[in-house]
Amino acid sequence: MVDICGFIIPTYRLVMLIGSLLATLCSFKIIPKRNVKNTKISFLRNWQEVISFLNQNKTLYWCYLAQIGMTCLYMIAPVFISPYAKNILKASSLEFGLIEVAFSVGFIVGNVLLPYMIEKISPKQTLVFSMTISALMYLLLGLNESIFFASIYYLVAGIFISAWVVIVTIAQKNTPITLQGKIQGICYGFSGLVVMFIYLIFFAINYLYPLPSNKWFYILAMLALSTLWSISKGLKILNLKNKV
């Protein structure tokens, strides 16, 4: 069984590596439709431009705040699953590998399913539904001790965490092209800081009062629910502006 897992995981990584290389090669064939002038601007000046733009478009604060929360979910979830599988589920190497694969498969399915949901309902309702289901899945993982159901819950969580792509698209669509990269860089930087802060709190709490590995998912559930306010407020105002 261990040998099989040792084959599945390296093969999965090899496929991802080959796919990344092919995507890189294909990118060289993309012909840009716009000519962007290269300008040398200081780091401080970039910050000033971003802050000035967001102060004039406060609605986008909420969209980018939601993006930061979803990015943190995407970064933290795979870290929490390892001790959970080992300590709570008592999973073998193969079973742990299958749980991880379920999350990746869910993410791929979500990239197909969520655009369809957006067409049928709306971006706002799709995002709210996605984060609500994500929070529910993390709560169920915190209560679960079955490998089979852990795979199911993690698969569904993977499907709806792909809503991260939707909020990024909405935020970028309403941001000038000259500022898109700058704001995204700042958002990813803040996401990294938030992740480090959560890890710090987690290690401090775990040192003072050790928690079972399954209880850690409650943190993810709260993080998913915390994005609902920024999603609702940001997209509500954007919809009103678009109607006007």
- List of E strands, the chain: none
Question: How many other CB atoms are found less than 10 A from the CB of residue 241?
Answer: 11
d(CA 227, CA 233) in angstroms, rounded, equals: 10
Q: Write the pLDDT tens digit of every residue in 75-112.
A: 888 888 888 998 899 989 889 889 989 998 998 999 88
Range among 33-42, 115-124, 129-138 rated most confident: 129-138
Residue pair 121/163 in contact (Cβ under 8 Å)? The answer is no
| Res 240 pLDDT > 60 | no
Tell me the CA end-to-end span of the chain in Å, nearest whole number: 61
Which value, in Å, is the radius of gyration of the alpha carbons in the chain? 20
Mean pLDDT of 114-127: 87
Closest CA to 95 of 2, 164, 174: 2
**pLDDT above 80 for 30:** no
Q: CA torsion angle for 15, 160, 136, 97 (degrees, to 10)?
A: 0
3-state per-residue secondary structure call for 117-129: HHHHCCHHHHHHH
pLDDT score, position 33: 58
pTM for this structure? Answer: 0.75
Q: With 70 as the cut, is the pLDDT of residue 4 above it?
A: no
Architecture of domain 73-239: Up-down Bundle (1.20)
pLDDT band at 17 (very low <50, low <70, confident <90, very high): low
Mean pLDDT of the chain: 80
Residue 144, pLDDT above cutoff 80: yes
Residue 227, CA distances (Å) to 65, 91, 135 in order: 8, 31, 10
Residue 177: both structure tokens together: 């092209």
Give how far the C-alpha of residue 1 lies from the chain's centroid of Cα atoms, to the nearest Å: 31
pLDDT score at 153: 95
What are 233's two structure tokens? 């407020």
DSSP 86: I
Coil vs helix vs strand at 210: coil
CB-side exposure of 220: number of CA atoms within 13 Å? 31
Considering 33-37, 72-76, 146-150, 215-219, the range whose residues carry the highest mean pLDDT is 146-150
Q: How far is CA 51 from the centre of its chain?
A: 24
Which tokens hold the place of 212? 């079972």
- Tens digits of residue pLDDT in 61-75: 888 888 888 888 888
In this prediction, residue 2 carries a pLDDT of 42
Query: How far is residue 231's CA from residue 235's CA, in Å, rounded to a whole number?
Result: 6
pLDDT at residue 6 tops 50: no
